Every structure is written in structure tokens, then in C-alpha cells.
Amino acid sequence: NAGVMQNPRHLVRRRGQEARLRCSPMKGHSHVYWYRQLPEEGLKFMVYLQKENIIDESGMPKERFSAEFPKEGPSILRIQQVVRGDSAAYFCASSPSGKSEAFFGQGTRLTVV
């Protein structure tokens, strides 16, 4: 049973481009969480999704950011028109239910140049 898989591991985008970050949860996990980590800082909650539903997006900026977790396929975090301040590590975690431990992926390190 593979762990939480995130890709790409590293992503470089120019200002104004779009960034798409993918997260495949562990097998059997239907709950996905996205976090952002700035250098030397903690993890900031962004969004919590279950299959086809956004449960809590209170930590996600209202503009340029969106997330989805379709019935089939990975969860996608999309950042449109990226700016330098979006440069960070983005981590995805998954759990089998809302009452279970969450397991993290290795993260995607986004660099905006």
C-alpha cells in the first residue's frame, strides 16, 4: 500500500503562470487535506476535501486558489497567476475518515521566478 503520493516534487513557474499540484491519497482514504509551509515556518491549513466535496476551505485564499477531489483521480490544488509569495512547500495529507490519523505526502516545492 503506497503512501500519499504528491507530484511533482518540485515545480518552477514564472509569475503569472498556473501551478497544478496533484495528490493521490492512500488506498481507501477519502479525506484529503492541503497545507502550505513557508521556509522555517509551520504548516498552515488550506482546505479539507472529501470525494467531490469541499468540507472546509477557510484557510485558502479567496482568489487564484482552488482545490478539487473528483470521484476518480487525484486531488488537485490549482494556483492561477502565481506570484513570488506563492513560493512554498505544499503538503497533502489523507485519512480514511474524519476520525482517523492523517498521513502526509512528501510535498511539492513550488518556486515562482
Partner 1 sequence: QQQVKQSPQSLIVQKGGISIINCAYENTAFDYFPWYQQFPGKGPALLIAIRPDVSEKKEGRFTISFNKSAKQFSLHIMDSQPGDSATYFCAASYNNNDMRFGAGTRLTVKP
Binding residues vs partner 1 (CB under 8 A) = 4, 33, 35, 41-45, 48, 55-56, 58-59, 91, 93, 95, 97-107
| Shortest spacing between CB 4 and partner 1, in angstroms | 8
Classified as helix, coil or strand, 85 is helix
By beta-carbon proximity to partner 1, the closer residue of 16 and 28 is 28
By beta-carbon proximity to partner 1, the closer residue of 18 and 52 is 52
| Shortest spacing between CB 69 and partner 1, in angstroms | 14
Distance, in Å, from the CA atom of 94 to the CA atom of 102, rounded to the nearest integer, reads: 5
Give me the phi and psi of 84, to 5 degrees please: -60, -35
Q: In what order do the strands lie in the sheet with 65-68?
A: 5-7, 19-24, 75-79, 65-68
By beta-carbon proximity to partner 1, the closer residue of 16 and 61 is 61
